[in-house]
Amino acid sequence: MSAEMSTPSARRPRSAGREAWRRGLYRFAQSRLSVLGLAIVSLLMLMALVGPWLAPYPEHLEGAVSTAARFQPPSAQHWFGTNEMGQDVFSLVMGGARVSVLAGLAVVLLGALAGTLVGGIAGFAGGWTDDLLMRLSDLKLTIPGLVLAMAVAAALGPGIFNMVVAISLSWWPGYARLVRGEVLARKEDLYVTAARAIGARPARLLLVHILPNVMTPVIVKMSLDMGFAILTVASLGFIGIGVKPPTPEWGSLLSVARSYMPDFWWTAIFPGLAIFLAVFGFNLLGDGLRDVFDPRSRR
């Protein structure tokens, strides 16, 4: 439990909202692991944004090869060594951050959007609409997500967009269940009744009054899901269904490197570590955020 930390302000009383934020921030900063997660995620975001410009050998990201420098072990020149085409593994790993972060974000956003709509409508409408939508999402939960994503991605062909669509298809049921529960709890609240009394239409009630009030758990779930989304993207890349070469992607880098083990271990270890660190960072951050926003789950 965090100690009471509000210092009485002489000039101007702070609003309750800002006070809550300050406390949340304090609680977040209390946990060293959460701060570590935030640091890793920030670094990752930075790499996704400017990685291709910071990479020491940017031409390798475009598919350039230098066969004279094949399979060089890690050195001052090539921090993570070079791969079977003489490309700098460090540059490839930096460039790969972009695909992973972008695709992960897109999957989580799409999944959350679709799930929120489905869950919101199910919870708000009730009756057979609710039954139908929830049975559908139950069914989706029994279908193995990875197999479904593989099937869809293989049929749509390679490319980031297709991959994102394929993964999102199996991503929304979790959000739908979460939002439905929250909407059920909210829809009898006084402010909803009040809005209804002054003649708000159902769509307005749901979109303007109810959904904004159930977003906190959705955002927390999104942050917890980011790591898993990145993991799924890398998994598809590893199986060989993902982005088109030469775009560097961690999973496919790892899958190619498999055949060069154990002699050229660095081509496999560093992309693998990058996946692990990215997922770990998001998991730490998500765990910290959940502790702040959802006090029930706190230790």
Partner 1 sequence: MWSYLVRRLLLLVPVLLGLTVLVFAIARLLPGDPVALAAGPNASPAEIAAYGREFGLDRPLWEQYGRYLWGLLQGDLGVSIYTRRPVIEDLRAYLPATLELVLAAMTLAVLVGVPMGLWAAVQRDRWPDYLSRVLALGAISMPRFFLGLLLQLGLAMALGWLPLGGRFPITEELPLRITGLLTVDALLAGNLNAFWVACQHLLMPALAMSLSPLATIMRMMRGSTLEVLQQDYVLTERALGLPQRLIITKYVARNAFSATLTVIGLYFGWLLGGTVLVETVFDWPGLGLYATKAVVTQDFMPIIGVTLVIGTLFVLVNLLVDLLYGLLNPKVRPA
Closest CA to 169 of 205, 191, 188, 144: 144
Other residues' Cβ atoms within 10 Å of the Cβ of residue 67: 8
* Closer residue to partner 1 (CB): 61 or 236: 236
Binding mask 121-140 for partner 1 (x = CB under 8 A): --------------xx-xxx
* Closer residue to partner 1 (CB): 124 or 282: 282
Q: Among 1-9, 143-151, 179-187, 211-219, which window interacts with partner 1 (CB under 8 A)?
A: 143-151
Burial letters 11-23, b for 16+ CB under 10 A, else e: eeeeeeeeeeeee
* Closer residue to partner 1 (CB): 100 or 116: 100
Can you say whether residue 240 is alpha, beta or left, with left for phi > 0 and alpha for psi between -120 and 50 degrees?
A: left
Q: Which amino acid is at 161?
A: F
* Residue listed under structure tokens 């974000």: 105
Q: Among 7-15, 79-87, 178-186, 253-261, which window interacts with partner 1 (CB under 8 A)?
A: 253-261
Q: Among 43-51, 122-130, 176-184, 279-287, which window interacts with partner 1 (CB under 8 A)?
A: 279-287
* Closer residue to partner 1 (CB): 75 or 297: 297
For residues 100 and 225, the answer to whether their CB atoms sit within 8 Å is no
Indicate whether 151 belongs to the interface with partner 1 (CB under 8 A): yes
Judged by CB under 8 A, which of 46, 147, 194, 219 binds partner 1?
A: 147
For residues 254 and 272, the answer to whether their CB atoms sit within 8 Å is yes
Task: Give the separation between CA 260 and CA 269, rounded to whole angstroms.
Answer: 11
* Residue listed under structure tokens 């890349």: 237
Indicate whether 219 belongs to the interface with partner 1 (CB under 8 A): no
Closest CA to 288 of 202, 220, 218: 220
* Closer residue to partner 1 (CB): 152 or 206: 152
Judged by CB under 8 A, which of 24, 52, 126, 145 binds partner 1?
A: 145
Task: Give the separation between CA 206 and CA 124, rounded to whole angstroms.
Answer: 7
Residues 15-54 that bind partner 1 (CB under 8 A): 33
Indicate whether 272 belongs to the interface with partner 1 (CB under 8 A): yes
Indicate whether 201 belongs to the interface with partner 1 (CB under 8 A): no
* Closer residue to partner 1 (CB): 57 or 250: 250
Closest CA to 55 of 101, 100, 94, 96: 94
Residues in contact with partner 1 by CB under 8 A are 33, 135-136, 138-140, 142-148, 150-152, 154-157, 227, 231, 234-235, 238-241, 254, 258, 261-262, 265, 268, 272, 275-276, 279-280, 283-284, 287, 299
